[in-house]
Amino acid sequence: MLQVNDLCKSYHDTKVLDDIRFSIDDGDFFGILGPNGSGKSTLLKLISGVEKADSGQLLLDGTPVENYSRKQLSRTMAVLQQESLPPVDFTVQEVVEMGRFPYQNWLGEEKGNQGHIVDSILHKLNLDPLRDRSLQQLSGGERQRVALGKVMAQQPQWLLLDEPTTYLDIGYQIQMMDLIKAWQKEEKLTVVAVLHDLNLASIYCNRMLLMQGGNGIRVGAPKDILQSELIQQVYGTEPIIVEHPVHRLPQIMLQQGGSFIE
């Protein structure tokens, strides 16, 4: 369980997070939503331990996140960024193998032969045919799949996603989210996802935090967050909310007009 208590963070006297409070239960698929500049990615950096809060507490299973060593934290949490891996001259297999770093000693050695872990991931993500191909030869969607394979190799308990579908077309977006959801169910992962697409978030997340201007506006299920008046308040445009005919979850339809520019 992750508990976030009165979290605050500023950069150069500009407050970007102000008294954020919420909790995430083990097994949640938790979405962090909000417009640009609302503090979503900063919050994810604090959760991952990359940066420290100015005040407040982040407790992971009752222990402050800052008390974990980098290696301990990397065995517990993995982060998938919004940009796919750069087209460097490493093979697909080499990149996925990099995910085993938290389990290696200072010589880069790991106890036992763990090659089956990487082989299983390559097979699961349908990367077997690409295993010897350089990242330079892959599309953006394929590179993002390799990036997912790398974090899968970390075998984390928590997966943090920073807008992982931003640069993907709709086909790759659904493929990526389906792969993550299947992995979550199989390994009983807890997923924390910063997402821009509210409709995707509604389908995949069981709980959400809606942010605005560094503040937490509301925490709840999709039906509690995707409400016309609330979305208009936060995003400045009045949507039409409809029910998804298959998933029975709220979805947003945009309309012309009703937006503002600050």
Instruction: Please indicate, yes or no, if residue 102 is contained in any of the structural domains.
Output: yes
Residue 108 has pLDDT above 70, yes or no: no
Instruction: Please indicate, yes or no, if residue 260 is contained in any of the structural domains.
Output: no
Residue 9 has pLDDT above 80, yes or no: yes
Instruction: Please indicate, yes or no, if residue 262 is contained in any of the structural domains.
Output: no
pLDDT value, residue 112: 65
Instruction: Please indicate, yes or no, if residue 109 is contained in any of the structural domains.
Output: yes
How far, in Å, CA of 207 to CA of 221, rounded?
4
Q: Are strands 215-220 and 207-212 parallel, antiparallel or unpaired?
A: antiparallel
pLDDT value, residue 181: 95
- Let me know: does 164 contact 144? Beta carbons within 8 Å: yes
For 100, residues 6+ apart whose C-beta sits below 8 A from its C-beta are 110, 114, 117, 118, 153, 154
Q: C-alpha angle 123/127/133, rounded to 5°?
A: 140
Instruction: Please indicate, yes or no, if residue 261 is contained in any of the structural domains.
Output: no
* First-last CA distance in the chain: 37
Average pLDDT (183-195) is: 94
Q: What pTM did the predictor assign?
A: 0.90
More confident residue, 67 or 107: 67
Domain residue limits at 124: 2-253
Instruction: Please indicate, yes or no, if residue 119 is contained in any of the structural domains.
Output: yes
Task: Say what angle helices 115-124 and 140-153 make with each other, to 10 degrees.
Answer: 140
Instruction: Please indicate, yes or no, if residue 259 is contained in any of the structural domains.
Output: no
Instruction: Please indicate, yes or no, if residue 258 is contained in any of the structural domains.
Output: no
Residue 82 has pLDDT above 80, yes or no: no
Mapping DSSP to helix (H, G, I), strand (E, B) and coil, where does residue 112 land? coil
Domain count, the chain: 1
Element (H, E) at 211: strand 207-212
Q: Which amino acid is at 51?
A: E
Residue 150, domain CATH = 3.40.50.300
Banded model confidence at residue 168, pLDDT cuts 50, 70, 90: confident
H-helix segments, 134-206: 140-153, 170-187, 198-204
Reported as a single tens digit per residue, the pLDDT across 200-249 is 999 999 999 999 999 999 999 999 999 999 999 999 998 999 999 999 99
pLDDT value, residue 41: 92
DSSP letter, residue 96? H
- Let me know: does 206 contact 26? Beta carbons within 8 Å: no
